Amino acid sequence: MSTPVVSIAYHSGYGHTAVIAEAVRSGAVEAGAEVHLIKVDEITEEQWAILDASDAIVFGSPTYMGTASGAFHVFAEATSKRWADQAWTDKLAAGFTNSASKSGDKLHTLQYFQILAAQLGMHWVNLGLLPGWNSSAGSEHDLNRLGVFTGAAAQTNADQGPEAVHKADVATAGHLGRRVAETARVFARGRAAVAA
């Protein structure tokens, strides 16, 4: 069985989202995937080819003004050729975001990623975790402490640097990376079984 290829296409304005991208990468590597980190604001033709050859693409961006960053939107619009050719049909997709506010309308960013994936004919992989920190027995150190189901969501105070990204959010992103890699492996086995 071939190793699943997972690419993380992300933008990070101040480094916080890059911390989350690295956590997704680490989780996917732990699950046995070949992983590529691709900064969408510096993307090269070689990296577009990597995305085309990937089994799964994880989208990531900070949430600015209630949606993904402008740099991510530029990348999304550049996928229009892939949309026209349906070149990414049946690839897996997932997403993550970070903002300074506990909510910060992060859900809208993740839904934007879902719509982008749907337009490209991709299959969305959700977080697959129950919410944490939602009872008197919970704590801010729980996985999925922000209670988001669509993808990995992180919150970092606006006046702190990337080193302050919450450890529970980093761990949640690692979980997402593992889940994407494991799901990609299951899809690959299913395709192989159907082909046989």
Write the pLDDT tens digit of every residue in 48-97: 999 999 999 999 999 999 999 999 999 999 999 999 999 999 999 999 99
Task: Give the fold, CATH level 3, of 5-195.
Answer: Rossmann fold (3.40.50)
Residue 192 has pLDDT above 90, yes or no: no
Is a pLDDT exceeding 90 seen at residue 195? no
Q: Is 137 helix (H, G, I), strand (E, B) or coil?
A: coil
Give the number of other CB atoms < 10 A from CB of residue 32. Answer: 14
- State pLDDT tens for residues 133-182: 999 999 999 999 999 999 999 999 999 999 999 999 999 999 999 999 99
Mind giving me the DSSP string for 82-120?
HHHHTTTTT-EEEEEEEESSSSTTHHHHHHHHHHHHHHT
> Does the pLDDT of residue 34 top 60, yes or no?
yes
Q: What is the pLDDT of residue 1?
A: 56
Kind plus residue range of the DSSP H or E element containing 176: helix 167-195
- pLDDT-based confidence at 2, cuts 50/70/90? confident
Band of residue 25 on the pLDDT scale cut at 50, 70, 90? very high
Question: In which residue are the tokens 């699950």 written?
Answer: 31
